[in-house]
Amino acid sequence: MKKKIFFCLIVLFVVCVNIVYADDAIEEELSDIEIGEVLETASSVDELKINSRIAVVYDRASKNIVWGKDENKRTAMASTTKIMTAIVVIENAALDDTVKISAKAACTGGSRLGLKKDDKISLRDLLYGLMLKSGNDAAVAIAEHVGGSVPAFANMMNEKAKALKLVDSHFTSPHGLDNPEHYTTAYELAKITDYALKNETFRKIVGTKNYTVTINGYPKNINNTNELLGVLDGVYGVKTGFTNNAGRCLVTAIKKEGMDLIVIVIKADTKKDRTRDSVDIINYIIKNYESVDIKDTVQNEFEKWCLMNKKRFTIEKARNKDFTIGRENLKNERIIIKKTDIDNINVEFNAIYYFSAPVEKDTILGEMKIFVKDNLIEIDKLFFNENIEKNNIYDYFFKCLKCFK
């Protein structure tokens, strides 16, 4: 009997402590001196070498990948998961709700806000505990309150992933502890982050360095685990992460030199590596890339093409063959490209040159492709600006009369 009781206690201990290498659970914080050393020794080179196995730089304006390393490879994501958790909460719940902490939430291991069973805390403060302190206990409490259970909340996360048209992301939990069915890619994580940052509440939370939550009416100060926030100029979020499978992760949002970027590193060996890699990538992009206005270049190429090709169009039975061609507005008037490629912006046109009247206004006649070297960055449709009417019997009659003159 004693052995059975002892065995049950062991099982209960494992469940409550949840001994999983979780986000920031066994890491030492980088000191201000260490961060200073990273910033001072960060490289600014033409060829980028990083420790992280997976990385991406995502341009928030154009929605394009600027630079990447295995950015489409599926990977564990650790507590960067909580970016999706937060946006699902913000969009589906009242943040002023009071949440009573369950035994399951209180027993969740890994990085913690420090919640105990029956504690009372607002949903808003749980969000701050989730994103600043990276509390897995806060994540479970949130999931239970908003979704009814962790699996039900994970379903909400997956529904949101579908709505965002993600094909390589799947969620099983709100915290991101390792699970083979819980994964994303650096590219899709950047898309999730970009979407989340459009939300003012989310942006405010992840941009907060220090915050005081209230638990059972008592204040508790917490600090953001993001080591670059408030240290590197231009950084305004967003989230750290660590598990055995994901390695050290860091998602950084930064505005600098006219660029609004999301920089992600995953599977770094150490916290110092993830910090150094992130700074090196940022420095590399700032040194070697530029935000370029392509509006005039594209318009000039379009006008040139129209002038050279308009006479190639044949519109049978058209009453009036005088027409103009329009094009879709650029999705992105500014793009981030390598400085050495600024003179390699090319525009390619493909069109159908034969039509039969009547032709309605806005009928698609082709497309315009914009390339930087061999990299396709945008496709826009070409169309007729006017209705082109078909000849009627009177038009043919008057044409015949002209023949007898």
Domain match, 160 and 267 both: yes
Boundary-marking domain end, from 258, 276, 292: 292
Domain match, 122 and 111 both: yes
If you ran DSSP here, which 8-state letter would residue 388 be given? B
- Give the closest residue to 195 by CA, choosing from 169, 173, 223: 169
The CATH number of whichever domain residue 311 belongs to comes to: 2.60.410.10
Domain match, 258 and 368 both: no
Q: What is the mean pLDDT of the chain?
A: 90
Q: Where is 337: in which H helix or E strand?
A: strand 334-338
Predicted local confidence at residue 172, as pLDDT: 98
Catalytic residue among 134, 169, 173, 278: 134
Report the sign of the C-alpha dihedral through residues 288, 293, 297, 298, in that order. Answer: positive
Q: Where is 338: in which H helix or E strand?
A: strand 334-338
Residue 5 counted as domain residue? no
Is 310 noted as a catalytic residue in this protein? no
Predicted local confidence at residue 13, as pLDDT: 46
Residue-by-residue DSSP string for 84-97? HHHHHHHHHS-TT-
Is 162 noted as a catalytic residue in this protein? no
What does each C-alpha distance from 241 to 82, 137, 166, 186, 192 come to in angstroms? 9, 15, 21, 13, 15
Predicted local confidence at residue 163, as pLDDT: 98
Residue 404 counted as domain residue? no
Catalytic residue among 82, 133, 160, 239: 82
Q: Which domain holds residue 339?
A: 294-393
Per-residue pLDDT tens over the stretch 30-41: 666 677 777 766
Domain match, 241 and 327 both: no
Q: Where is 238: in which H helix or E strand?
A: strand 235-243
Domain match, 66 and 203 both: yes
Predicted local confidence at residue 27, as pLDDT: 44
The count of domains in the chain is 2
Predicted local confidence at residue 45, as pLDDT: 66
If you ran DSSP here, which 8-state letter would residue 318 be given? B
Q: Going residue by residue through the chain (405 aa), what tens digit of pLDDT does each one get?
A: 555 554 544 444 444 444 344 444 444 556 666 777 777 667 666 779 999 999 999 999 999 999 999 999 999 999 999 999 999 999 999 999 999 999 999 999 889 999 999 999 999 999 999 999 999 999 999 999 999 999 999 999 999 999 999 999 999 999 999 999 999 999 999 999 999 999 999 999 999 999 999 999 999 999 999 999 999 999 999 999 999 999 999 999 999 999 999 999 999 999 999 999 999 999 999 999 999 999 999 999 999 999 999 899 999 988 877 899 999 999 999 999 999 999 999 999 999 999 999 999 999 999 999 999 988 999 999 999 999 988 765 554 555 555 555
Domain match, 306 and 267 both: no
Between helices 186-197 and 82-92, what is the axis angle to 10°?
30
Domain match, 320 and 265 both: no
Boundary-marking domain end, from 292, 324, 343: 292
Residue 269 counted as domain residue? yes
Residue 264 counted as domain residue? yes
Between CA 160 and CA 386 the distance in angstroms is 41
Domain match, 134 and 205 both: yes
Domain match, 146 and 202 both: yes
316 burial via Cβ count (<10 Å: 0-12, 13-18, 19+): exposed
Domain match, 187 and 46 both: yes
Residue 314 counted as domain residue? yes
Boundary-marking domain end, from 246, 265, 292: 292
The CATH number of whichever domain residue 38 belongs to comes to: 3.40.710.10
Is 82 noted as a catalytic residue in this protein? yes
Between CA 126 and CA 141 the distance in angstroms is 8
Domain match, 298 and 262 both: no
Catalytic residue among 52, 79, 111, 169: 79
Domain match, 156 and 261 both: yes
3-state secondary structure 133-197: CCCHHHHHHHHHHHHCCHHHHHHHHHHHHHHCCCCCCECCCCCCCCCCCCEECHHHHHHHHHHHH
Predicted local confidence at residue 358, as pLDDT: 93
